[in-house]
């Protein structure tokens, strides 16, 4: 089929300045709606306005433009059906061979902070999806185009072949239906945000990039972001050096950035296999890195380093001494970049994202045939609502260590134990089936690394069912513990801590992470 007549109706005019002239050069007649027609005329090209075909002006402030039988019959007519062709001839309707449509930017508008409901509603496109779906349905006879990224290839195929082959039309139809489905899903999600958990949850995801492989080389993988999300894992993150991040890199990066969001003072977190293996706060970012690395330099090998302050040359030289898979920071000095770009294989990322995410976040866990959905555990805990349950009271420095360890423990796989002192992790027990084993692992790791646990703080992501876990820690020198409480044997646990002259805080909030 040759391309003789095209219908164009787009909100985003990007690329039309080359696409439309290209079609016109090949003798294609252009029909366009409202603003699109005006734009094409500004290019000095001849265009037929939609209302010239419908003989009905735009109505309701532009809400009704293309919703007319003369438009949709021209799109939906099957050229190999005699009755369809006869109906067109009887009503003097000339069919469209190509339909180029993109939609109102509902996602972008609705994602704005404090957007008015009426403004979001006006960005719900009606005519655009109808035309695009009609063209996609009739792909045997019509070329549906919904992305400016396709303009050049469409023009090239028409020039080379004089038509768009069926295989390409089928691909374009799939893109069109995916586009309208994502669009409708984003609208449904916007309305559903008024409900805690709606009866039907629709997710609209857009591919950000293909990945080399998944968790293992035999698994294919890609990274998708939620359509319309105010921010996502890689939004405004620029890769300054190194290869594309892998599946595991991105998973670890998400874990590292989640820990980093807990703190506003200079902080460094080092993540390995989605668990922090070293985290520290300090008065300066160089000292924070020193402490985080010293927490567990063995596990830090090949990990991800995340910093929340600018990296200068002195720190870059120290970082260059380590094997690091991925590094992310808000910014780097020019000479620091020069040093780090010499590190072969280092994925060097700069986080330029300054926007705050939406207040409503959901956490999705894929299970067989479905998804578990919950609120994200994203709140930053402070002392308000926490209770000291022992005779001994933590001093201010100890409170600092307790809160620091507690915030890190939230991001450690359960069962989770974090030992800390002077705002530095000293030992972490992650992913253990037994909480006492998690304590034992954290204590043993601290000892193996030469850390002195005298006066250290311990955080447990869930309650201690028995006194044995705290007793192990107390024997090692821990003098303050923080945990949710809620065990049937809380009184026994508190008594054990009291007997050692140590302090314990109940948070009344659990932080399981499975």
Q: Which domains does the chain have, with CATH numbers?
A: 5-192 (3.40.50.1380), 237-351 (3.40.140.20), 387-506 (3.40.140.20)
User: What is the rounded CA–CA span in Å between residue 183 and residue 128?
Assistant: 11
> What is the overall mean pLDDT for the chain?
90
Are the CB atoms for 9 and 100 separated by under 8 Å? Answer: yes
Are the CB atoms for 266 and 230 separated by under 8 Å? Answer: no
Does the pLDDT value for residue 279 go beyond 90?
A: yes
Tokens representing 247 are: 């599946």
DSSP strand pairing (480-483 vs 457-460): parallel
The pLDDT assigned to 355 comes to 66
Buried b (16+ CB within 10 A) or exposed e, 259-269: bbbbbeebbbb
> In sequence order, which residues have a C-beta less than 8 Å from that of residue 238 and are 6 or more positions away?
349, 350, 352
What average pLDDT does range 286-295 have in this prediction? 97
Does the pLDDT value for residue 357 go beyond 60?
A: no
Are the CB atoms for 50 and 37 separated by under 8 Å? Answer: yes
User: What is the rounded CA–CA span in Å between residue 263 and residue 52?
Assistant: 61
The pLDDT assigned to 84 comes to 80
DSSP for 382-434, please give it.
Answer: -STT-EE-SSS---HHHHHHHHHHHHHHTTSPSS-EEEEETTEEEEEE-S-SS
Does the pLDDT value for residue 160 go beyond 90?
A: no
481 pLDDT band (50/70/90 cuts)? very high
107 pLDDT band (50/70/90 cuts)? confident
What average pLDDT does range 453-464 have in this prediction? 96
Are the CB atoms for 332 and 220 separated by under 8 Å? Answer: no
Respond yes or no: is residue 65 known to be catalytic.
Answer: no
The pLDDT assigned to 34 comes to 82
The string of pLDDT tens digits covering residues 429-453 is: 999 999 999 999 999 999 999 999 9
User: What is the rounded CA–CA span in Å between residue 137 and residue 158?
Assistant: 21
User: What is the rounded CA–CA span in Å between residue 276 and residue 436?
Assistant: 20
> In sequence order, which residues have a C-beta less than 8 Å from that of residue 451 and are 6 or more positions away?
295, 419, 421, 426, 427
Cα 449-339-307 angle, rounded to 5 deg: 50
Are the CB atoms for 394 and 505 separated by under 8 Å? Answer: yes
Environment class of residue 57 by beta-carbon count within 10 Å: exposed (0-12), middle (13-18) or buried (19+)? exposed
User: What is the rounded CA–CA span in Å between residue 236 and residue 399?
Assistant: 35
Tokens representing 429 are: 């027990």
User: What is the rounded CA–CA span in Å between residue 313 and residue 130?
Assistant: 57
The pLDDT assigned to 276 comes to 96
What average pLDDT does range 61-78 have in this prediction? 80
Q: Taking the CA of residue 70 as centre, how many other CA atoms within 13 Å lie in the half-sphere pointing to its CB?
A: 15
The pLDDT assigned to 413 comes to 95
Residue length of the chain: 514
What average pLDDT does range 345-374 have in this prediction? 83
**Active-site choice (113, 137, 141, 179):** 137
Residue in the block written with tokens 């995801």: 205
Tokens representing 2 are: 């040759």
> In sequence order, which residues have a C-beta less than 8 Å from that of residue 262 and are 6 or more positions away?
380, 407, 408, 410, 411
Respond yes or no: is residue 273 known to be catalytic.
Answer: yes
Q: What whole-number percentage of the chain has pLDDT above 90?
A: 60
**Active-site choice (68, 72, 82, 273):** 273
Does the pLDDT value for residue 229 go beyond 90?
A: no
């Amino acid at each position: 089929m040759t391309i003789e007549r095209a219908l164009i109706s787009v909100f985003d005019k990007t690329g039309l300045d080359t696409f439309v002239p290209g079609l016109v050069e090949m003798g294609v007649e252009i029909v366009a709606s409202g603003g699109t027609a005006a734009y094409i005329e500004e290019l000095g090209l001849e265009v037929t306005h939609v209302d010239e075909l419908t003989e009905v002006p735009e109505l309701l402030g532009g809400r009704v433009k293309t919703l007319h039988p003369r438009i949709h019959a021209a799109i939906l007519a099957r050229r190999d059906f005699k009755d369809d062709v006869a109906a067109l001839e009887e009503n003097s309707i000339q069919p469209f061979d190509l339909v180029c449509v993109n939609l109102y930017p509902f996602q972008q508008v609705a994602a704005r902070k404090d957007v008015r409901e009426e403004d979001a509603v006006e960005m719900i496109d009606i005519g655009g999806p109808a035309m695009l779906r009609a063209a996609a349905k009739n792909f045997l006879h019509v070329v549906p185009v919904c992305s400016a990224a396709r303009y050049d290839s469409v023009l090239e195929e028409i020039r080379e072949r004089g038509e768009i082959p069926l295989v390409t039309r089928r691909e374009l139809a799939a893109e069109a239906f995916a586009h309208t489905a994502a669009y409708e899903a984003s609208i449904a999600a916007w309305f559903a945000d008024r409900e805690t958990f709606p009866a039907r949850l629709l997710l609209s995801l857009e591919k950000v990039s293909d990945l080399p492989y998944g968790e293992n080389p035999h698994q294919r993988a890609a990274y998708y972001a939620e359509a319309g999300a105010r921010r996502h894992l890689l939004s405004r993150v620029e890769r300054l050096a190194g290869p594309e991040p892998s599946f595991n890199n991105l998973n670890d990066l998400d874990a590292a950035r989640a820990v980093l969001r807990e703190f506003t003072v200079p902080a460094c977190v080092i993540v390995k296999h989605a668990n922090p293996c070293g985290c520290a706060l300090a008065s300066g970012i160089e000292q924070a890195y020193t402490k985080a690395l010293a927490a567990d330099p063995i596990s830090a090998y090949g990990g991800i380093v995340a910093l929340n302050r600018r990296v200068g040359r002195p720190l870059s030289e120290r970082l260059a001494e380590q094997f690091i898979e991925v590094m992310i920071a808000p910014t780097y000095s020019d000479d620091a970049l020069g040093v780090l770009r010499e590190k072969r294989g280092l994925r060097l990322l700069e986080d330029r994202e300054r926007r705050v995410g939406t207040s409503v976040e959901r956490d999705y866990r894929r299970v067989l045939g479905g998804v578990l959905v919950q609120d994200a555990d994203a709140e930053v805990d402070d002392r308000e609502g926490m209770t000291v349950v022992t005779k001994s009271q933590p001093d201010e420095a100890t409170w600092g260590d307790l809160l620091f360890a507690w915030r890190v423990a939230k991001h450690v796989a359960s069962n989770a134990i974090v030992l800390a002192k002077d705002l530095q992790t000293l030992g972490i027990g992650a992913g253990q089936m037994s909480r006492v084993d998690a304590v034992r692992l954290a204590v043993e790791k601290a000892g193996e690394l030469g850390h002195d646990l005298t006066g250290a703080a311990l955080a447990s992501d869930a309650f201690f069912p028995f006194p044995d876990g705290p007793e192990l820690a107390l024997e090692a020198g821990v003098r303050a513990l923080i945990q949710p409480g809620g065990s049937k044997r809380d009184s026994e646990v508190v008594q054990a801590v009291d007997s050692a002259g140590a302090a314990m805080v109940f948070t009344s909030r659990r932080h399981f992470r499975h």
